[in-house]
Amino acid sequence: MKKTPFISLFLISLVVVLQAQESPVVVGAARTDAYLPLLHGKRVALFSNHTGMVGDKHTLDVLIENKVNVTAVFSPEHGFRGDAGAGDHVASSVDEKTGVPILSLYDGDAGKPSKESMRKFDVLIVDIQDVGLRYYTYYISMVRLMDACAESRKPMIVLDRPNPNGHYVDGPILDMKHKSGVGWLPIPVVHGMTLGELAQMVNGEKWLPKKRVCKLIVIPCLNYTHQTLYRLPVPPSPNLPNMTAVYLYPSICYFEATPVSLGRGTDLPFQIYGHPNMLGYDFTFTPRSMKSAVNPPQKDRLCYGVNLSGLVDEEIWKKGIDLTYLIEAYRNLNMDQYFFRPFFEKLIGVDYVRKMILEGKGADEIKAMWKGDVEKFKQQRKKYLLYSE
């Protein structure tokens, strides 16, 4: 068989790189020609927050400039402008710039909008930047809205956005006995899907209550694949301020279910971890109360620990979910079963991880346990993917 000369391979690679540079990702919200005709004569509601940007304009402003009758906005955790802390109560209000009412997602039964709220619009647009983690709550809000739309027989249009963690799948599939506000679907911790793809899977797998199906239209991104390393132009929430935090989030979030601080109340949330009693570490930090973390774990206490903010992206990607940090902190503090809180199973989604850590098992041995889940899910999701793997 004739071999391809090295110079030819180099030129092919160069062309691919140049094409990628010439073809930036176009998010669904920027494709106004694809969705504005669907909104003519309709009362429109928008589920979004500060991440719903098209260039330097918010999608809400784009809709209003194009004479769309926007009658309501739904906002997720952290609020419409994205400045509320994790789990903070976000009341219904009015968007100051446009005067459009901001409605609560949770003013009805079963944690979804009331029938009165649903009567205010004919079609719902979803435009929000997710980060591709099962315990990141934006997708849960979307699924609840899908259920409300299915029940009210109203269509949902998802203006898709890339998943910054969309280049891999990792972690155990949620055991549904641990279903909660930080874990809603039987998917791995890192599912590798966009919201548009996930919405299609929710319909296809009949994951809505009573096997309802939402009338769904997805406006896909252009020039995106699951190997596109998309850097977020806007921090998705107050404690994920940069891409290092976004990439470390699948490995660091489990400290939320322990006494260990993961940097809330500092300038490096989800990039550092520590505790006042951790021994053998030179790096120190002191969590303080701030707008995005009013009462952070270990507030005003000097913590000893680890600074991961200098890790290069490639090193984080290579490891995927890395439980080494959690296991090292557990062993250092020597608290045995008192290290973990019940919230841990809600985050990791299964019972066996805590048990294996208590038994002294290592990160690689634990990760091998969910390898089958990853392969199973990759096959299950295939028919719902909008972008090549």
- Report residue 238 as tokens: 């107050």
- Report residue 338 as tokens: 């008192």
Q: Which position has the token pair 């155990």?
A: 172
Same domain, 223 and 277: no
Half-sphere exposure of 156 (CA within 13 A, CB side): 29
The range of the structural domain enclosing residue 215 comes to 28-232
Same domain, 203 and 257: no
Query: What pLDDT, in 10s, does the model give residues 271-324?
Result: 999 999 999 999 999 999 998 899 999 999 999 999 999 999 999 999 999 999
Burial profile 288-322: b = 16 or more Cβ within 10 angstroms, e = fewer: eeeebbeebbbeeeebbbbbbeeeeeeebeebbbb
For 174-189, the DSSP string reads PPGGG-BTTB-SS--S
- Report residue 381 as tokens: 């999701």
Note whether residue 368 is domain-resident. no
Residue 18, pLDDT score:
39
Q: Provide the domain count of the chain.
A: 2
Residue 14 CA from chain centroid, whole number: 33
Note whether residue 372 is domain-resident. no
Note whether residue 381 is domain-resident. no
Note whether residue 3 is domain-resident. no
Note whether residue 59 is domain-resident. yes
Same domain, 86 and 206: yes
- What angle, 0 to 180 degrees and rounded to 10, lies between the N-to-C axes of helices 243-252 and 324-333? 60
Same domain, 175 and 139: yes
Same domain, 211 and 301: no
Residue 93, pLDDT score:
79
Beta strands of 59-116 (E only): which ranges? 69-74, 93-94, 101-103
Same domain, 261 and 202: no
Instruction: Return the CATH number at 80.
Output: 3.40.50.12170
Same domain, 58 and 167: yes
Same domain, 248 and 225: no
Note whether residue 88 is domain-resident. yes
Note whether residue 196 is domain-resident. yes
Domain boundary among 175, 210, 232: 232
Kindly report the pTM of this predicted structure. 0.90
Same domain, 181 and 276: no
The size of the chain, in residues, is: 389
- Report residue 91 as tokens: 């009341």
- Spell out, as residue ranges, where the chain has pLDDT lower than 50: 1-21, 78, 82-90
Residue 91, pLDDT score:
54
Same domain, 116 and 200: yes
CB-based contact 80:58 (threshold 8 Å): no
Can you tell me the distance from the alpha carbon of 230 to that of 179, in angstroms, rounded to the nearest whole number? 29
Note whether residue 278 is domain-resident. yes
Residue 77, pLDDT score:
57
Same domain, 163 and 133: yes
Domain boundary among 232, 261, 278: 232
Domain boundary among 178, 203, 232: 232
Same domain, 210 and 297: no
